Copies of this chain bind each other. A is one copy, B any other.
Amino acid sequence: MLYLIGLGLGDESDITRRGLEVVKGCKRILLESYTSILPGISKERLEELYGKPVEIAYREKVEEDIEEVIEEAREDDVAFLVIGDPFGATTHTDLYLRALRLGVKVEVVHNASIMNACGACGLQLYRFGETVSIVFFTETWRHGDSFYDKILRNNAGKVEGGLHTLCLLDIKVHELNFDEMIKTGKPVYMPPTFMKASVAASQLLEIEERRKDGACSPDRPAIALARVGAKDQVIVSGTLERLSRSDVDDVLGAPLHSLIVCGELHDLEKEFFEHFDIDKR
In angstroms, Cα B127 to Cα A153, docked, is: 13
| Interface assignment of A117: CB less than 8 Å from any CB of chain B | yes
Contact A275–B8 (Cβ < 8 Å): no
| Interface assignment of A141: CB less than 8 Å from any CB of chain B | no
Nearest CB of chain B from residue A199's CB, rounded to whole Å: 20
| Interface assignment of A16: CB less than 8 Å from any CB of chain B | yes
Q: Which of A1-42 contact B (CB under 8 A)?
A: 6, 8-10, 13-18, 20-21
Contact A127–B126 (Cβ < 8 Å): no
Which of A58-66, A89-97, A218-226, A250-258 sits within the interface?
A89-97
Q: Which residues of the partner chain B approach A124 to less than 8 Å between Cβ atoms?
A: 90, 93
Contact A97 B17, CB 8 Å, known A6-B112, A112-B85, A125-B115: no
| Interface assignment of A193: CB less than 8 Å from any CB of chain B | no
Contact A132–B126 (Cβ < 8 Å): yes
Residue with the greatest number of chain B CB neighbours at <10 A, chosen from A15, A16, A149: A16
Contact with A13, one of B16, B100, B159, B275 (Cβ below 8 angstroms): B16
In angstroms, Cα B110 to Cα A113, docked, is: 9
In angstroms, Cα B108 to Cα A12, docked, is: 16
Contact A108 B125, CB 8 Å, known A17-B15, A272-B97: no
User: A85-B112, A90-B268, A110-B120 given. 20 additional CB < 8 A pairs?
Assistant: A13-B18, A13-B21, A14-B17, A15-B17, A16-B111, A17-B20, A85-B116, A86-B119, A87-B120, A87-B125, A90-B124, A110-B229, A112-B113, A115-B125, A116-B116, A126-B132, A130-B157, A130-B159, A149-B159, A153-B157
- A interface residues (Cβ-Cβ under 8 A, vs B): 6, 8-10, 13-18, 20-21, 85-88, 90, 93-94, 96-97, 100, 108, 110-113, 115-117, 119-120, 122, 124-133, 146, 149-150, 153, 157-160, 163, 168, 229, 268, 271-272, 275
